[in-house]
Amino acid sequence: MKKVVLITGATSGLGLNMAQKLSRNHYIVYASGRNISTHKDLPNLKFIYLDVTKEDVIKSAVDLIISEQGRIDMLINSAGIGIAAAIEEIDTQLVKEAFDINYMGIIRMVQYVIPPMRRAGGGKIINIGSIAGRVGLPFQGIYSSTKFAVEGLSEALRIELKPFGIHVVIIEPGNYRTNVSKNRTIIEPHSDSPYRKRLTNFFELLNKNITKGRKADYVGELILRIAHKKKPRFRYSTGRFYEIITPAIRFFMPSKLFHKILTYFYRI
């Protein structure tokens, strides 16, 4: 029997790559997002409208899948947005939006998916975190904050849901070559901003890191391996070597030195 997968934020970027990879490997995939008009359904791959900020829409999407398939074996929470700016200069409404999508969106999704998953005897919930969820990155402080919150949420869920046979996993990607910029809000500094020079350097490096990132296929392959595992581990970090080791080395050096390294790396 084919496993049924629901993926949020699956109309572009890593989410779309994961949906395509799983559907080609005999999973029934419901790829969801807010912009599905340009996508056509394929064998094992169906695009459905879903906005993780709207509970009624989430309920309708979950009810649709249950009515068609009878269960949801795996939920992948991939929907998210990024913000790049100096914290001092961010509109707090954008901060609320980031938390509403990146963090509250996951809570809304699991609250509707856990009950049918528990009734079915188990399943997997995979949350897409970030290396930025373990290291507070300069000029990405709001994004980092949302991903730090996802880390804590995922760990708590892992323990709460284990007795029901539901395995919670968090994946921490580094930079990958995707159209991530379409889901990232960049706040350009005003002409007399005290951050102007540093932000200019940061934005240049940010774009360069994305173009030099690994292929999105690596994450798709990782998702496939996790899907096949009966007992996946809690955390999977993926990316270039320095991205993977950065969260670990911070605990083996003084904060002052670690912050100097980040400052040097980001040229700020």
Task: State the burial class of residue 266 (Cβ atoms within 10 Å of its Cβ: 0-12, 13-18, 19+).
Answer: middle
pLDDT of residue 264: 85
129-154 pLDDT, tens per residue?
999 999 999 999 999 999 999 999 99
pLDDT of residue 42: 85
To 10 degrees, what angle do helices 13-23 and 217-228 make? 50
Annotated active-site positions, please? 143, 147
* DSSP state at residue 42: B
Of the ranges 15-29, 99-113, 202-216, 230-244, which one carries the lowest mean pLDDT score? 202-216
Q: Write down the domain spans for the chain.
A: 4-265
Terminal Cα distance for the chain, rounded: 53
**Secondary structure (3-state) at 258:** helix
- CATH superfamily of domain region 4-265: NAD(P)-binding Rossmann-like Domain (3.40.50.720)
Backbone angles phi, psi at 4, to 5 degrees: -105, 130
pLDDT classification of 13: cutoffs 50, 70, 90: confident
Query: Residue 156 pLDDT more than 70?
Result: yes
pLDDT classification of 94: cutoffs 50, 70, 90: very high
* Confidence (pTM): 0.92
